[in-house]
Amino acid sequence: MLIARNNEIKILEDAYSADESKFIAIYGRRRIGKTYLIRKTFTDRITFAHTGYSGGNMKEQLFAFSASLREFGYEDFGRPSSWLEAFELLKDLIRASNDVKKVIFLDELSWMDTAKSDFLMALEGFWNGWASARNDILLIVCGSATSWIMDNIIHNKGGLYNRLSYQIELLPFTLGECETYAKTNHIVMNRHQLLNCYMILGGVPFYWSLLKKGLSLPQNIDNLFFARNAALKDEFQYLYSSLFKKPDRYIDIVNALGKNKAGMTREELLAATKESNSGAFTKRLLNLINCGFIRKYNEFGKKTRNCRYRLVDNFTLFYYKFMADRPNDAHFWENHSESAEVNAWCGLAFERVCFEHIDQIKKALGISGVSTEVYSWSCKRDIENGINGSQIDMLIVRKDQIINVCEMKFARGKYTVTSKTDTDIRKKINDFFAVTETRYAIHPIIVTTYGLTENAYAGNIQAVITAEDLFN
């Protein structure tokens, strides 16, 4: 059963109903549900589907393609010796089809595009020289290697330039969508448990599909990550190697960011990874952004080159904190889920969940319709000018001349704004005013799990966002 994805399904159905041929590219990180979306949307309406073979050479890829042609009913052909021949055979299958709209689904394109195979040339010829001239073809391509899809299909500078009808980025589920998915699979958790689960798994549907009903959340996490035959114990290695060539270069960046709560500038990343300042490094950063592993935030009032990069992938954060040096304890999460180490991690993980739910935070603030920009901000200590030195993780800068300074506070009960917390927030706001000289009004906001304890300091907070709000 498809959960959410309503906008994506509408695009696909509109393309299917169009009176001309359409070409769609779908991209998104591994395990996000790209193939599942297509197969469920077009269950009995696919004229031809093929998935590339991981690691296969050109001969093996062509053999697999011919096997798929047979599977979809085309028998009268020899084995193709090139991709040009293979696409000619696909044309024959389409011509013989009685389907009103011929849905052609090519999955894991990057694996088919082996060295010197001329796969892209053949694909260009198929679409530009034949399929686009008809009115009955819906060509859908996708793959987990997002960087390949972006470079060769979406931003193609050759024969496929500007040929796409639609591009669909498949994003992780939100908290609310994960709640619906869990209920559909008869997984019983309250919202606090769902939030904790999201802080570990993120919104990746495949990971959530592995949860077992009848088990507690700690038992499920042990089964997925720490048990002897844990389903996701090797996921980190597969995740990056399936997406990128030379995955070690990408892992070096992610590793550096995983150690820095506040994120890092480009210069800091170059120093940490010992990389040269090159276009290749820029490309790696862009690929990690496109895959949803890291996010780029401009610093308010500073030039774009001073932007910061943060690791935002929940699973990767969890891996670096608890799995990189794999504990020899099959019940690690059951035994440590209330530990100080886990509590410290919860604060960082909760921040990342908040960054993934900006729309929900805006809705809770009643500003969904207000144009906003999200920034981070920091300043160095300057005693001479009365600057304490501050770090603000989230600024929501609003067109109505208000800036929300957001403090994210994970708590297992109501959060108490102490005298120290109140002083810290005031110092940050004073630094911000002094350094930026902004004329906007500053509203301190706290995003926390269960709301605030009523006390003398709670009244200084302009708005409180709870975990409940993040589910809306």
Q: What is the spatial distance between Cα 40 and Cα 73, in angstroms, rounded to a whole number?
A: 21
d(CA 388, CA 383): 7
pLDDT at 119: 97
Inform me whether the pLDDT recorded for 75 exceeds 90. Answer: no
Per-residue model confidence (pLDDT) at position 237: 84
pLDDT digits 0-9 by tens, 18-50: 999 999 999 988 899 999 999 999 999 999 999
The predicted pLDDT at position 79 comes to: 84
Task: pLDDT band for 76, please (50, 70, 90 cuts).
Answer: confident
Sole residue written with tokens 């002094």:
434
pLDDT tens column, 448-470 = 999 999 999 999 999 999 999 99
CA distance 5 to 368: 21
Interacting residues of 239 by C-beta distance below 8 A, sequence separation 6+: 29, 30, 31, 315, 316
Q: How confident is residue 201, by pLDDT bands cut at 50, 70 and 90?
A: very high
At residue 327, the pLDDT reads 74
List C-alpha distances in Å: 27 to 63, 270, 341, 444: 25, 28, 36, 37
pLDDT, mean of residues 282-304: 88
pLDDT on residue 125: 97
Kindly report the number of other CB atoms within 10 A of residue 334's CB atom. 16
- In this structure, are residues 196 and 20 in contact, taking their beta carbons and an 8 Å threshold? no
pLDDT confidence of residue 365:
97
Residue-level pLDDT at 298: 87
pLDDT of residue 357: 97
Q: Average pLDDT for residues 339-354, to the nearest whole number? A: 93
406-426 per-position pLDDT tens digit: 999 999 999 999 999 999 999
Q: Which of helix, strand or coil describes residue 226?
A: helix
- Alpha-carbon distance of 226 to 322, in angstroms, equals 10
- Tell me: pLDDT of 175 over 80: yes
- pLDDT confidence tier of residue 181, bands split at 50, 70 and 90: very high
Q: Which two tokens stand for residue 439?
A: 């004329």
- Give mean pLDDT, residues 362-385: 93
Among 393, 403, 394, which Cα is nearest to 367's? 403
Per-residue pLDDT, 393 = 86
Q: Give all strands (DSSP E) within 230-275, no chain letters.
A: 264-265
For residue 259, name the pLDDT band (cuts at 50, 70, 90).
confident
Question: What pTM value is reported for the model?
Answer: 0.92
Pairwise pLDDT comparison (121 vs 386), residue with the higher score: 121
How sure is the predictor about 392, in pLDDT bands with cuts at 50, 70 and 90? very high
Structure tokens at 232: 């996701």
Name the DSSP class of 150.
Answer: I
Give the pair of three-digit tokens for residue 68.
């798929």
Predicted pLDDT at 315 = 94
pLDDT of residue 78: 76
